[in-house]
Chain A
Amino acid sequence: MQTIVIVGASLAGLRCAQALRKRGFAGRLVLLGAEPHAPYDRPPLSKQLLSGDWPESKLFFHAREQHAALELEQRLGQTAAGLDPRERKLLLASGERLHYDGLVIATGARPRSLQQAAGLAGVHVLRSLDDALAIRTALGAKPRVAVVGAGFIGLEVAASLRKLGLSVSVVEPQRLPLLGLLGEQVARSVWQLHVDHGVDFHLGRSVAAVEGAGRVERLVLDDGTRLDCELVVVGIGVTPETRWLEGSGVALDRGVLCDAKLATNVPDVVAAGDVVRWPNAAIGGEVTCVEHWSNAVEQGAAAAARLLDGEAAPAFSHLPYFWSDQYDRKLQCTGQVRPDDRAELVNGALDRPAFAVMYVRDGRVTGVLTSNAPAVFLRARKLLAEARSVDEARKTLA
């Protein structure tokens, strides 16, 4: 294999490049990124960057890791437009055709936008550094802020902006934030946390219209409520970025469909990160995407192994992990939680900063969420990896 092209220059792509070099790949290594920036870390965008605690320079991986030895051909600001697996060519939006011997798909996901807001200034999503910088710039005018969607991005934005003293309203179709992810008890605890910090919730409501002359001036909700605002941040989920692969022959199904080793159905094309849908043995072989930081790190390395070692590479399994920082809380969640799993408080109290909630389905522990309890969280990871019984888990987490 002489040339490996990694499509996507974020965390999964970078970790894949690092793993390829560490495994001794000495050929040409191209890292293609749609954004104009060198690889940077996304989690701080909604937290340290938005709150102004960190300058953007602190986000770049090259600022905190040694990359000199990678000898990467970074092609930034260049977008993939198509793939021809028979000829082993990657087609770029510029019209250029790049030859590859091995290819890594790591194009991640793109945020969904609010259709009602088409064309209005002052309405932002938050996925990229440029998104975050645009929002941060807009904060200078002390806008009234409306956040659409009370998922993790929306809630982290709300927390960061409340810390800056801005007025923040949150619009969410469900009756509590995170209800569709973590169930009633945790959702209520998170709701209370934000209420205590002065967030104005409009729950059970959706956006009927976004009004303004060129710039957003207000949201109109489905019950007729008029919410005056100068800045809107939309956090209503993401879609895997696979448009460039349509018609290429790479199997797609709400992501790039991979086998247990992260290979696609096309020879010498593997995938890593948010874009991947694969059967994950760590959660009973369920075929899912795991759109979280640690998964991107580990999949980057595993995809490199599959590309270089072929079928001899091991299957990739991953116990999902994500975290969220809101005010003085660090929420950590592991496993594969469904909102209708039975939630049981196993440590602390839901109206206090520190607690742990265990989720159970069909007599099995499916996941654990902790708040400000890192040691308990690691015990939870261990017992999930070892598939301990509900009784054992209850004792271990207490």
Chain B
Amino acid sequence: MKIVVDFDLCQSHGLCTEAAPELFEIRDDGFLYILNETPGPELATKAQKAALECPTGAISIKDE
């Protein structure tokens, strides 16, 4: 699984950081950081939740 964020779409709503705090973080500079781009399958559900709850559809999950 690979986490891909389209940073042209991302507006730092930050809901992904609530759905998957292991994977996403908004820092004080206001930008989103991916903490782990290739998480294990145990985080798949959280990653998918983050993608579905992103208001700008900026997150996609690719199979590797």
| Residues on A facing B (Cβ under 8 Å) | 15, 18, 41, 43, 61, 64-65, 293-294, 297-298, 301, 321, 323, 325, 330, 332, 372-375, 377-378, 381
Contacts and interface: CB of A to CB of B under 8 A. Distances in A.
Contact of B28 (A15, A321, A332, A375): A375
B52 A323 contact: no
**B interface, by DSSP: helix, strand, loop or mixed?**
loop
**A interface, by DSSP: helix, strand, loop or mixed?**
helix
Given A15-B52, A374-B12, 19 more contacts: A18-B52, A41-B57, A61-B57, A65-B57, A294-B15, A294-B53, A301-B52, A321-B15, A330-B11, A372-B30, A374-B26, A375-B27, A375-B28, A375-B30, A377-B14, A378-B17, A378-B18, A378-B26, A381-B14
A381 B21 CA distance: 13
Contacts of B14: 374-375, 377-378, 381
B53 A323 contact: no
Interface size class of B (residues with CB under 8 A): 10 to 19
Interface in B1-60: 11-15, 17-18, 26-30, 52-53, 55, 57
Contact of A64 (B15, B18, B57): B57
B55 A293 contact: yes
B30 A374 contact: yes
Contacts of B29: 375
B30 A373 contact: yes
18 contacts: A43-B55, A65-B57, A293-B55, A294-B15, A294-B55, A297-B52, A297-B53, A298-B53, A323-B13, A325-B11, A373-B30, A374-B12, A375-B26, A375-B28, A378-B14, A378-B18, A381-B14, A381-B18
